[in-house]
A and B are shown apart, each in its own frame.
With several copies, the nearest count.
Chain A
Amino acid sequence: MADGGLTVFINYEHNTHVYNITVERRDNQFFITYDNNEYTVVASELKPGHLSIQLGDRIIKSIITQGEEDKFVFIDGSIFKVKRIELTGRKKTEKREGDLHSPISGTVVSCKVKEGSLIKKDDVILIIEAMKMEYLIRAPYDGVVKKTYFKEKDQIEIGQLTAEIQKQEE
């Protein structure tokens, strides 16, 4: 009761979109401002991460867990991975070079290309087996294979670059 107001400004990043929020807390009441709307809610944390939030006559039930970098928000059967970011010095969203990184950890079944060879878009570069399924790494564009990083029976980890391809200019 003696606790005074406490205002926090937060930015959340979710799928390259950033959401700016202001939240002021007075005991178990929260005044949340987002997109020029103010929401007044009464909330409590029932057990660690389990929130019960009354918004008007509605109860929002959510479970939040804190990962290494991300928070996971469970709402109504869906889970959203969200990063809390600082307004200044925010990193640009890293754009993955798509298909040339391994999407999975597994074992290399075979490498179908040689360094220096010409390949066409969608040609298979590497076949990876994981959890008894095959995954194909295909060329994202026509080009020349500059480097391959894996050969048959190699172990490959999720996110590792499988090959480098010099894009052929149109």
Chain B
Amino acid sequence: MFKKVLIANRGEIAVRIIKACQEMGIRTVAVYSEVDKHAPHVQIADESINLGDPTPSESYLNIAKIIENANKVHAEAIHPGYGFLAENPDFAKACLDSGITFIGPTPEVIRLMGDKIEAKKTIAHAHVPVIPGYNGIQQDIPTLIKEGKKIGFPLLVKATAGGGGKGMRIVHKESELEQCIESAKREAKSAFGNDSVFLEQYIDKPRHIEFQILADHHGNVIHLFERECSIQRRHQKIIEETPSPVMTPDLREKMGKAAVAAATAVGYTNAGTIEFMVDGNQNFYFMEMNTRLQVEHPITEATTGIDLVKWQLRIASGQELTLKQNDITQRGHALECRIYAEDPSNGFLPSIGTLEKVDLPNGPNIRNDTGVETNFHVSSYYDPMLAKLTVNAENREESINKMIWALSHYVVIGVTTNISFLKKVLDHPEFRKGNITTHFINDYFHDWLITKEGLPLDALIALAVYDSLHTQRQEIVRYKEADPHSPWQHVGRWRMGV
């Protein structure tokens, strides 16, 4: 096993990886940009390295700087987390070339799966169903428009190098096609440095269901069951659960086998995820493979009892996967909510500011993954996800109730968050029934407003108590004298220092 691992990431995922390493007796090296100098991942690590400028390209995305520092501190391996360099084949290659183990698959597999067109072709060869679409290398607008019309509407425009909903557009009618292609290309260029897109048939009311994979360097490949990730806004997941309410033992068996076949077909190693789209008739289609740890991995850990990060480390260090497919059992039900600094009543706009208070809910089977704390400043440099909240219970209903309890006790003051929104989604009758698709938020929460009900009485009472406790007598006099014609002058209960 490695003696020292550098974690090329920040936030909750860096914290989670550092803890796993420390439990295994591995020394950890955090990296950080100037604005993250006091961030929790830096505080908890055994060593830390300042990468300087907070602009991602200068720090968390700076391959040369990270490799140079890893060598300097003699880190034997680098864990990339998710996002940033996690799916960058050049980074995996640079690690390899410097004699550092990249904790993930080979650069070749990352590159292949990063090209959504080639990925689909390869996976289709392994007899895994894929969605009809245009994956050509002709990327001029007229060709894309022509191919788009062939597929018909609605259709999807997606960045070839994409992920996380960036560079993705749904086109409902022909007249929108050109603008959507252009805007998707622009976003793709900015996010991935590559403006290539592909088109595919748009499946109405689909579910997003993915399978977790673990594969070692000795030919063992297993899956750890599904995660239902249909609850999305802006094409990004906000609530994930497992098991999926739509899953049957038969479908699970089929999709699990397809996932293992897909991973095997590309020679996959380490932890990865096969994303499928499932339509209303339980047909499933391969969408893409995420060649890294997923944000939502905790729900799989909760229901299988397996620590995915520790297995990533073991597999990367060359150990054999001693877990066999039949050893993996799915028990109970788990839910994850992503806590975002964003305003759900205003288009999920990110919110920036200093966290005046963070106080996490605590209880049996409540897991908090967080990379922020009281006094942390949420800047616009990075993703607005503050934390993840994961719960598990004996069944889905209890899991939902536990999550609602936990969200009701989740305190984040200083930025606008999606906590109240998440509660409303979980408590929606259709969510409780498990009737969810990737359109759920749009269908039921299009015009949601947190504040339409006004200030509750309890809040008014709390404010009154607080201000009564904190108001000085002089201040009261000032208030009183401010306006001699104030109606308060005539109120009978006025009394002071009696």
Binding site for B on A (CB under 8 A): 4-10, 12, 14-15, 17, 19, 21-25, 30-34, 39, 41, 43-47, 49, 51-55, 57-65, 67, 71-80, 82, 84, 86-89, 103-106, 109, 129-135, 158
The answer to whether A10 touches B461 (Cβ under 8 A) is: no
The CB with the most chain B CB atoms within 10 A, among A55, A61, A75, is that of: A75
Chain A nearest CB from B373 CB (Å) reads 9
Point out the residues of chain A lying under 8 angstroms from B412, CB to CB.
79
Main DSSP-derived SS at the B contact region: mixed
Give every chain B residue within 8 A of A129 (Cβ-Cβ). 190
| A-B interface contact total, Cβ < 8 Å | 215
Cross-chain contact B473 with A6 (CB below 8 angstroms): yes
Would you give 14 A-B contacts (Cβ < 8 Å), ordered by A? A6-B473, A12-B463, A15-B455, A17-B454, A22-B488, A32-B464, A43-B465, A51-B462, A58-B46, A72-B413, A80-B456, A87-B482, A104-B352, A106-B380
Question: Which residues on A sit within 8 Å (CB–CB) of B190?
Answer: 109, 129
Complex Cα distance, B491 from A87, in Å, reads 14
A62 to B458, Cβ gap below 8 A? yes
In the assembled complex, the Cα of A105 lies from the Cα of B352 at a distance in Å of 9
- Decide if A7 touches B380 in the complex (CB within 8 Å): no
CB-CB < 8 A to B460: which residues of A? 12, 19, 21, 32, 34
Partner of A109, one of B186, B408, B409: B186
With a CB–CB cut-off of 8 A, which chain A residues contact B191? Answer: 132
Shortest Cβ gap from A119 to chain B (Å):
16
Q: Contact at A63–B349, with CB atoms within 8 Å?
A: no
Separation in Å of the B236 CB from the closest CB of chain A?
Answer: 9
What's the minimum C-beta distance from A165 to chain B, rounded to whole angstroms? 21
Give 4 nearest A-B pairs by CB, closest first. Answer: A62-B462, A88-B483, A77-B408, A4-B498
Cα of A106 to Cα of B408 in the assembled complex, Å: 32
With contacts A58-B46, A63-B359 known, is A6 near B476, CB below 8 A? yes
Choose one: A33, A88, A133, A134; the contact of B183 (CB below 8 Å). A134
B356 within 8 A of A: yes
Closest chain A residue to B423, Cβ basis: A77
B113 at the interface (CB under 8 A from A): no
**B residues 438-475 with Cβ under 8 Å of A?**
450-451, 454-469, 471, 473
User: Judging by beta carbons under 8 Å apart, are B73 and A57 in contact?
Assistant: yes
Residues of chain A lying within 8 A (CB to CB) of residue B457: 34
Contacts A77-B410, A132-B191 known; A59 to B495 CB distance under 8 Å? no
Nearest CB of B to A25, in Å: 5
User: A75, B423: Cβ atoms under 8 Å?
Assistant: no
Q: Are B459 and A80 in contact (CB under 8 A)?
A: yes
Nearest neighbor of B498 in chain A, beta-carbon distance = A4
Q: Which of B46, B410, B413, B456 has the most CB of A within 10 A?
A: B413
Kindly list chain B residues whose C-beta atoms are within 8 Å of the C-beta of A75. 456, 458-459, 462
Q: Which residue of A lies closest to B407 (CB)?
A: A77
B294, CB-defined interface residue at 8 Å: no
Q: Counting CB contacts under 8 A, is B265 at the interface?
A: no
Which of B352, B384, B466 lies in contact with A64, CB distance below 8 A? B466
B482 touches A89 (CB 8 A): yes
Point out the residues of chain B lying under 8 angstroms from A78, CB to CB: 419-420, 450, 456
Rounded to whole angstroms, the CA-CA distance of A130 and B44 in the bound complex is: 29
Given A54-B48, A62-B459, A133-B166: A104 in contact with B349 (beta carbons within 8 A): yes
Which of A6, A17, A22, A105 gathers most chain B CB within 10 Å?
A6
Q: Chain B's nearest CB lies how many Å from the CB of A138?
A: 12
Q: With A17-B454, A75-B456 known to touch, is A86 a contact of B462 (CB < 8 Å)?
A: no
Are A86 and B479 closer than 8 Å at their CB atoms? yes
Other contacts beyond A15-B451, A59-B48, A80-B456: 11, CB < 8 A: A4-B496, A45-B469, A59-B47, A64-B466, A65-B357, A74-B411, A82-B463, A89-B483, A104-B380, A129-B190, A132-B164
Chain B hits for A5, CB < 8 A: 495-496, 498
